[in-house]
């Protein structure tokens, strides 16, 4: 199987087009289809001094391995001219349109996975389009009630119970229902999309020292531990709750497939320290495979030739592996 991967270049004024073109300059054991404006990619390639042949994407043709120096494009036109590094609100709708076309293609089976370059949330909102991020748009367009953010590097995976919440709101958000849903999604998708027969999940506590028997908070005793016990009865392999300050050590990590953190800055600083620029953002819980980079639009680097495509390369590799695993699982 040669998977066909949809790649959205993200914010046109950022480094998304740059790293998309850098990817096109490599050979891949998958077909990579950019969904965007061919004129933008052609202009940026000229600015970067890259010789990339842009071709029209033919969805009726069988997927073929990507050949360095070429790039099939499913065209979506910009609304206004784009200058590298300069945001333009008129093009906010273009960014959303590329994502919607990619999502539709994944749901219809044209694409085996979606890989996204970074978007600039501020300019989309400034254009009057309500937008809180890729993940929320994907959940809405696919009718998915609950998704889970997981970041992964070569040596570590971290999934999150909550994502972009103020810290004072996190304890109230950690409910038995939330933990049951999110941990079940993590377990299911590690089986389905990563091919793990019995995922081992290390669950962090919410409070320092995982509450220290109730002396440093009662969430562990009243919410987390009872919920983990319920899920263990359903067959999930869960360790914890573990103190977050000692969980990220080889003794724990060597014995688990993913660390499950209660909030954003509890789990991600360690992962990003270990693999920044080469980590992958994965959305679990969707009916499609979706991966993304671990960085932003880097407007100051757009068009300079200094953008690093390492995270996008990792995202494409992981999307390919996940798509193949999901297909193999669906056949069994």
pLDDT tens per residue across span 233-287: 999 999 999 999 999 999 999 999 999 999 999 999 999 888 777 889 999 999 9
DSSP-H helix ranges across the chain: 16-24, 38-48, 92-108, 121-126, 134-142, 170-173, 176-192, 219, 225-233, 244-247, 250-253, 264-275, 310-331
DSSP 14-48: TTHHHHHHHHHTS-BSSEEEEEE-HHHHHHHHHHH
**pLDDT greater than 80 at residue 170:** yes
Was 215 annotated as part of a binding site?
A: no
Was 281 annotated as part of a binding site?
A: yes
**pLDDT greater than 80 at residue 331:** no
CA angle 139, 66, 70 (to 5 degrees): 105
Q: What is the pLDDT of residues 70-99, one digit of tens each?
A: 999 999 999 999 999 999 999 999 999 999
What's the pLDDT score for residue 278?
Answer: 81
Q: Judging by DSSP bridges, how do beta strands 258-261 and 290-292 pair with one another?
A: unpaired
What's the pLDDT score for residue 319?
Answer: 96
What's the pLDDT score for residue 88?
Answer: 97
> What is the residue-averaged pLDDT of the chain?
95
151, containing H or E segment: strand 148-152
What's the pLDDT score for residue 332?
Answer: 63
What's the pLDDT score for residue 62?
Answer: 95
The encoded tokens of residue 308 equal 């690093």
Measured distance CA(39)–CA(60) in Å, rounded? 23
- 155 pLDDT tier (thresholds 50, 70, 90): confident
Among 44, 113, 55, residue whose Cα is nearest residue 307: 44
Evaluate the omega torsion of the peptide bond into residue 241 and state whether it is cis, within 30 degrees of 0. yes
The mean-pLDDT minimum among 54-68, 130-144, 213-227 falls in 130-144
pLDDT, greater one: 285 or 331: 285
Was 135 annotated as part of a binding site?
A: yes
**pLDDT greater than 90 at residue 329:** no
Domains by residue range for the chain, with CATH: 1-144+286-331 (3.40.718.10), 146-275 (3.40.718.10)
Was 290 annotated as part of a binding site?
A: yes
Was 295 annotated as part of a binding site?
A: no
In which order are the strands placed within the sheet that holds 280-284?
53-56, 70-75, 31-36, 4-8, 113-116, 290-292, 280-284, 148-152, 157-160, 258-261, 200-204, 237-242
- Tell me the whole-structure pTM to 2 decimals: 0.92
Was 218 annotated as part of a binding site?
A: no
**pLDDT greater than 90 at residue 228:** yes
């Amino acid at each position: 199987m040669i998977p066909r991967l949809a790649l959205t270049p993200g914010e046109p004024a950022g480094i998304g087009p740059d790293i998309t073109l850098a990817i096109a300059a490599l050979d891949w054991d998958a077909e990579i289809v950019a969904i965007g404006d061919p004129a933008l990619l052609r202009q940026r390639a000229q600015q970067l001094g890259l010789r990339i042949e842009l071709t029209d994407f033919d969805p009726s043709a069988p997927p073929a391995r990507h050949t360095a120096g070429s790039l099939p494009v499913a065209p979506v036109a910009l609304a206004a001219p784009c200058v590298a590094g300069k945001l333009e609100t008129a093009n906010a709708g273009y960014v959303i349109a590329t994502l919607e076309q990619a999502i539709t293609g994944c749901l219809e089976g044209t694409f085996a996975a979606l890989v996204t370059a970074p978007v600039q949330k501020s300019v989309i909102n400034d254009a009057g389009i309500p937008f809180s991020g890729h993940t929320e748009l994907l959940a809405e367009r696919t009718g998915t009630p609950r998704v889970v953010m997981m970041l992964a590097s070569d040596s570590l995976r971290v999934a999150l119970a909550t994502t972009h919440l103020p810290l004072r709101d996190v304890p109230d958000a950690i409910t038995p229902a939330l933990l049951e849903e999110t941990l079940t999604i993590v377990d299911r998708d590690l089986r389905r999309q990563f091919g793990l027969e019995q995922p081992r999940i290390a669950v962090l506590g919410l409070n320092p020292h995982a509450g220290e028997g109730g002396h440093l908070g009662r969430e562990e005793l009243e919410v987390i531990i009872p919920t983990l016990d319920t899920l263990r009865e359903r067959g999930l392999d869960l360790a914890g709750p573990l103190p977050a300050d000692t969980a990220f050590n080889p003794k724990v990590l060597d014995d688990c497939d993913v660390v499950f953190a209660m909030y954003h800055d509890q789990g991600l600083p360690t992962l990003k320290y270990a693999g920044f620029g080469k980590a992958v953002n994965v959305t679990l819980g969707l009916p499609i495979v979706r991966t993304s980079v671990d960085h932003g639009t880097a407007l100051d680097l757009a068009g300079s030739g200094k953008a690093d495509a390492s995270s996008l390369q990792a995202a494409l590799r992981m999307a390919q592996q996940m798509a193949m695993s999901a297909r193999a699982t669906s056949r069994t």
